[in-house]
Amino acid sequence: MRVAFLSSEAVPFAKTGGLGDVAGALPKALVGAGVDACLIHPLYDTTDRGLIEEKVFDNLEVDWLGGRRTVSVYLSYAAGAPAFLIDAPEYFARGKVYGFGDDHYRFAFFSRAALALLGRLGQAPDVLHGNDWPCGFAATWLWAGRQWGGFLGQTRTLMSIHNLAYQGLFDPGDLYRLGFRGGEESNVFMSNGAASSLKAGLMTSDAISTVSPRYSFEIQGHEQGYGLDWLMRQRRDRLVGITNGVDYDVWNPETDPHLPAHYSAEDLSGKLECKLELLRRFGLPEEPDRPVVASISRLVAQKGFDLIKHVAWEMLTAGAFFVSLGSGEHEYESFFQWLKDSAPNRVGIYRGFDEPLAHQIEAGADIFLMPSLYEPCGLNQMYSMRYGTVPVVRATGGLDDTVEEFDPEEGTGTGFKFGPYNAHALLDKVREALYWYTRKDAWGRIQSNGMRVDNSWGAAARKYVRLYHALFDL
Ligand code: ADP
Ligand code: GLC
């Protein structure tokens, strides 16, 4: 089974969120499951050049905008599977990954170059596995080209949805210039008057996966379908949910190089050192018995910050520290600044993206908040569990699939979950968690239950392998 895995971000080359973690780990896990997998990824100016092994092509020709464009391609083994990095500076040397008016051109070019690269490598993959809207173009081109048979005529396509809300919308007037002719080739893009690369990919791929089973059902409904629920229902026999894994080479408190001390489920003493160091890092008083409640996230409505805004003050009056790492919408950034100014001895905030600090917070915190409005999978609740930090989550998407409610009678469970999207429900659960935090035996049990859960990528990789094979029986 030969698989070409396309992603616009993958650790260690680029990361803006969970897709980076997944695309950095899954190809490696596929190789471990016996798949001949490679990653295809843009070479950004922010990518560390030290990760590059060699230049493999300096003259890859790509059909583009009615002409030809030549790019270089580099090879890296830093993600544990061969990664081909496409070097097109005018598109990818812009200081950040997304957020430009011509993003659809940038990632359409990436998709086009990926197909050209496969041709140049001379071995058609059995499966082209695309992720999110940037890769919708590749699946669509492959589908459009199939009518002529040819080199990729037998290659099957899988599109993975990591977040249905980001649809890669652009002006349909650009479709022709991008190389899509009229008729069906353009119709597949149309979504409420705009062109959507995600919709085109989901229309034309042989199958669709999402990153948790529950999310695969939720997106078939109006509330979470973001206007594409009809398509998800129409293709539900081609839609499956496979829960993300955790890369324990990167997220493991026994070995994590970012931590001041290491620890395990058998011996948690290092976690206390991590907590004290975290308090110092944020200039907070060293009060080890006071619980640290934490959040690490893009500051966007999806992540439930409207609820956090309502309960933050009560959390502090109930005796907790609160620590937040993230940047995003102004409304939430200014709220956290206000909270910090109002309670400087209880609140620590860092506005920005800081990978080492994310690890240090996972280790030093006691409780992790993820009251998401929706969550395709979510990784931080799983990282938290491994770091002995108890998650408080809303029962949605992958959060519901991966966190088990604590049952004090049985001593089972890994965290706390609430259902309705409202601040009372969150506050009740936070209070419940704060109560159990004071009962050291019970708390130790929840921590240990979470730390022993095995969310490694192996099981998920085997499910993908079965899915790849099933694409040939459709
Ligand atoms: P999403 O992809 O929707 O943002 P996930 O929970 O799947 O949510 O993954 C988020 C990833 O991004 C995690 O690895 C998390 O630690 C990381 N992350 C989010 N915000 C920051 C930040 N400000 N600094 C460092 N890492 C962050
Ligand atoms: C998206 C989702 C998140 C998921 C991640 C990786 O960014 O918002 O829930 O964990 O992709 O699949």
| pLDDT tens sequence across 231-260 | 999 999 999 999 999 999 999 999 999 999
413 Cβ closer than 6 Å to some ligand 1 atom? no
Candidate of 16, 160, 163, 297 to mutate for ligand 2, largest count of ligand atoms within 8 Å of Cβ: 163
Nearest CA to ligand 2 atom 10: 378
Q: What is the pLDDT of residue 147?
A: 65
Domain borders along the chain are 2-245+458-473, 269-453
Give helix 103-121 / helix 197-204 axis angle, nearest 10°.
40
304 Cβ closer than 6 Å to some ligand 1 atom? no
244 Cβ closer than 6 Å to some ligand 2 atom? yes
- State which ligand 1 atom lies nearest to the alpha carbon of 352: 23
Regions of the chain where pLDDT drops below 50? none
What is the 20 CA–ligand 1 centroid distance (Å)?
9
Cβ-proximal residues to 202 (8 Å cutoff; 6+ apart), any chain:
136, 159, 161, 208, 228, 231, 232, 235
- Read off the pLDDT of residues 113-149 as tens digits, 9 standing for 90 and up: 999 999 999 989 999 999 999 999 999 999 998 766 6
Q: What is the pLDDT of residue 204?
A: 98
C-beta of residue 262 within 8 angstroms of C-beta of residue 400: no
- Read off the pLDDT of residues 108-120 as tens digits, 9 standing for 90 and up: 999 999 999 999 9
What is the 397 CA–ligand 2 centroid distance (Å)?
10
Question: Among 24, 16, 17, 81, which residue's Cα sits nearest to residue 46?
Answer: 16
356 Cβ closer than 6 Å to some ligand 1 atom? no
Q: What is the pLDDT of residue 182?
A: 87
Other C-beta atoms closer than 10 Å to the C-beta of 399 total 28
Residue 100, helix vs strand vs coil:
coil
CATH class assigned to 2-245+458-473: alpha beta
Q: What is the pLDDT of residue 392?
A: 98
Q: What is the pLDDT of residue 150?
A: 82
Residue 365, helix vs strand vs coil:
coil
116 Cβ closer than 6 Å to some ligand 1 atom? no
Task: Domain 269-453: give its CATH architecture.
Answer: 3-Layer(aba) Sandwich (3.40)
Closest ligand, as measured to the CA of 354: 1
pTM over 0.75: yes
375 Cβ closer than 6 Å to some ligand 2 atom? yes
